[in-house]
Amino acid sequence: MVDVHRYHEIAESTHRIMNPLTLERLMLVGEICRLNADSRILDLACGKGEMLCQFAAHLGATSVGVDVYPPVIANARARAIELGVVDRVELVEADAAEPLGLGQFDVVSCLGASWIGGGLAGTLQIMTDYAGARAWLLVGEVYWARPPSTELATRYGQEFADLAGTLDIFENAGLDLVEMVLTNSDDWDRYAASQWLNVADWLDANVDHPDAAAVRAERDNSRRRYLTDERGTVGWGVFILRAP
């Protein structure tokens, strides 16, 4: 087996956004939240930091991004330099699940990483601890677009729900779902299929690498899972919430 962070570093090497989310949809999220130069954002498990860098460059927001994996933090710092927003994007290498003493923010986000809190409910609790009065909470989360097989639900290992069940989780947390931006099947296809090519290119360039066999096996397994079980069943979207 290959480490999950290392595999995604390879598979998403050409991705700026490490989720099935287009730049157009990402910027729509920022517009919905009325971000501007007065907005202060915290992104937990920020990955390559593309959201924060784009929101800084185009909407003037300032932000803090937290991620535990050094290579993606390095990538995010390079992107902030490239877009000229170093003064507005702070990157912190740390475990987003741990108390960090960062204060409160106007926007708290966690896109595609609800595992930091052991699932959606736990992650919402982490997020609300950083949320100021009437803050926006942005949650990028899997939902079941149609009932999953028992095997698929077990493989994901988290208690995902359909859209109505996801709403129930938000309401049980005392949060108000005010908007959402959902991805479509083409977004998913581009996100998944481009990873296959990235891995193929890496394998061509690293024939004798000690991880090559494990990387190939993970790519082959994930590709088959996507085409046979996940496609059309696993949905994803950014759910936009308001704190009390």
Domains of the chain: 21-183+234-242 (3.40.50.150)
What are the tokens at 104?
A: 């409160």
Q: Which helix (H) or strand (E) holds 156?
A: helix 150-156
Tokens of residue 208, six digits:
């004798």
Q: What angle do CA 61, 5, 50 make, to 5 degrees?
A: 20
Spatial separation of the C-alpha atoms in residues 13 and 27, rounded to whole Å: 22
pLDDT at residue 156, rounded to an integer:
82
**Successive 10-residue mean pLDDT values, the chain, 244 residues:** 91 96 97 97 97 98 97 97 98 95 96 94 96 96 94 83 96 97 97 98 97 97 95 97 88
pLDDT at residue 155, rounded to an integer: 85
Q: Output phi, psi for 36, to 5 deg.
A: -155, -170
Cβ pair 107, 41 in contact under 8 A: yes
List the one residue out of 234, 96, 227 whose CA is nearest residue 160.
Answer: 234
